[in-house]
Amino acid sequence: MTPCKVSHCCHDDCCDDDCCKRRRLYRVIFAWILAFIILILLIILITWLVLRPTKPKFYLQDASVSAFNVSSPDNLLSSTIQVTISTRNPNDRVGIYYDRVDVFASYKYQQITPATSVPPFYQGHNDIDLWSPYLCGVSVPVAPYLVESLSQDQSSGFLLVHVKIDGRIRWKVGSWISGHYHLFVTCPTFLSFQSGKGVDDPPVIKLQQISTCSVDV
């Protein structure tokens, strides 16, 4: 009998039983590998759908402004704002590691205070945490048009500042911990200027209402 060539085993007709057995064995091995890959992908998909993490919720609860002064013609802004922010983890099975949290204030897309860092912490399932960082900017240079806009807002008695959070988080499901995700939060802060009790007293700046923050992860 003529020895079987490797190329003959690629056809439907086998020249001997060994070729046919090898071909069937290769098919079975390939089918098992494919089924295993599909099973793993299906498990990952089901796990993700069941434990799919929901973005944390953020709310600006309060803002206390003790200083907000603009000097001209130098175009320098000095401000001191204490904000109270609450964050809630809405997930039932997913915890959140906050590895970096930087909070700062901006006015018309320009940052007006340096970032204040919140110490890293872990937020458990459905937990609520409260932060009250101070945002302080001393003689921060601002664009000339912003100085004019700030003067107009003060004259009208209303000012819109955005408190922003830039951070890095990780998800925790059981003993598994994900890689880092970028967290960016924007909280609109509506402030009102009210006259001081005395003639020479500076105006009192108060938060108009609690605001819901937009969250991007």
The pLDDT of residue 120 is above 60: yes
CA distances (Å), origin 166, targets 70, 94, 104, 105, 217: 26, 21, 9, 11, 10
What pLDDT sits at residue 93? 87
pTM flag (> 0.85) = no
Taken as a whole, the chain contains a residue count of 217
- Compute the radius of gyration of the chain from its Cα atoms: 31
Mean pLDDT value across residues 100-121: 95
What pLDDT sits at residue 113? 95
Tokens of 211: 């605001």
Distance CA(14)–CA(23), nearest Å, equals 9
The pLDDT of residue 133 is above 70: yes
Mean pLDDT value across residues 119-141: 95
Distance CA(109)–CA(105), nearest Å, equals 10
pLDDT tens, position by position, 27-59: 889 999 999 999 988 887 777 666 678 999 999
Contact 171, 183 (CB under 8 A): no
Query: Using 50, 70 and 90 to split pLDDT, how confident is the model at 11?
Result: low
